[in-house]
Homo-oligomer: A and B are copies of this chain.
Amino acid sequence: MVTSMARRGLVTVARLLQSLPMMRKSAAARPLTQNDPAQAENRPAASRERILDAAVAEFATQGFAGARVDAIALRAGINKRMLYAYVGNKKALWLAALERVYEAKRQEERTLNLQRLAPQEAMQLLIRFNFRYHTDHPEFLAMLNDENLQRGMNLQESKRVAELYSPLLTLLSEVLARGQADGVFRQNVDPMQLYISVVGLGYFFCSNQFTLSAIFDRHLDSVEEVLTREQHIVDVLMGYLRP
């Protein structure tokens, strides 16, 4: 019953599901062909892109301290000197990579169109979207974790924090209010708390899949386990939101 309900209204996110299981490959780091005049003009910009992609990949798998600038340069197919010229030192590289993964999520979030959906369906879509983003983007989780290990110092110093504010919180508030007006959601729900719960329920499962798998002696990265988890999260939150 709940499952059939789940199948509806998920066109937007459906394609995300296809990219399960969890590791997403970033664009191949191929050095630019040197004699293509068409791309000559913005080669620096393209190089910078490649550097950032490489930085995200390296940082996400090794953490800040474990990442090697040499490795990033190698991945990006660029000389280390140019890496320093285009982005800056290791810390600047980290911040740029961090902003990039945040931005990527925000951009996906902006594609969500919830206004036309009934509150309950909109809420479900929002929940599923978040969960799938986590399963599909381990680099996002990994970088957030490491930034928190550093006590959020870099993000704090970012001049673009404001841009990184999630539109999802506003969307969530609106959907919540609509549902409450319709009498299908309970009263007295703090939208920020709910947002943190929506994210947290999936975050922990994805981010800690390895230790969880080891402790429970059961591998949680299979497609079935992921889908089971998604349904459980929907059940928990929709169950909670009942009036």
Binding site for B on A (CB under 8 A): 61-66, 142, 144-149, 151-152, 155-156, 161, 164-166, 186, 190, 192-194, 196-197, 199-205, 207-217, 228-229, 232-233, 235-237, 239-242
Contacts and interface: CB of A to CB of B under 8 A. Distances in A.
Nearest to A202: B200
Tell which of A64, A145, A205, A216 has the most Cβ of chain B within 10 Å.
A145
A242 B146 CA distance: 37
A208 B239 contact: no
B215 A166 contact: yes
A142 B152 contact: no
Nearest to A61: B149
Contact of A145 (B149, B152, B165): B149
Contacts of A239: 186, 239-242
A178 to B, nearest CB: 19
A105 B208 CA distance: 16
9 contacts: A63-B63, A146-B149, A152-B213, A193-B229, A197-B236, A199-B204, A237-B240, A239-B241, A240-B240
Contact of A236 (B144, B210, B240): B240
A205 B214 contact: no
A207 B240 contact: no
A164 to B, nearest CB: 6
Contacts of A186: 239
A90 to B, nearest CB: 12
A4 to B, nearest CB: 16
B232 A193 contact: yes
Contacts of A166: 215
A145 B207 contact: yes
B144 A208 contact: yes
A133 to B, nearest CB: 14
Contact of A232 (B147, B197, B201): B197
A35 B229 CA distance: 58
Given A148-B210, A152-B211, A239-B186, A196 B205 contact: yes
B151 A210 contact: yes
A157 to B, nearest CB: 9
Contact of A65 (B66, B200, B242): B66
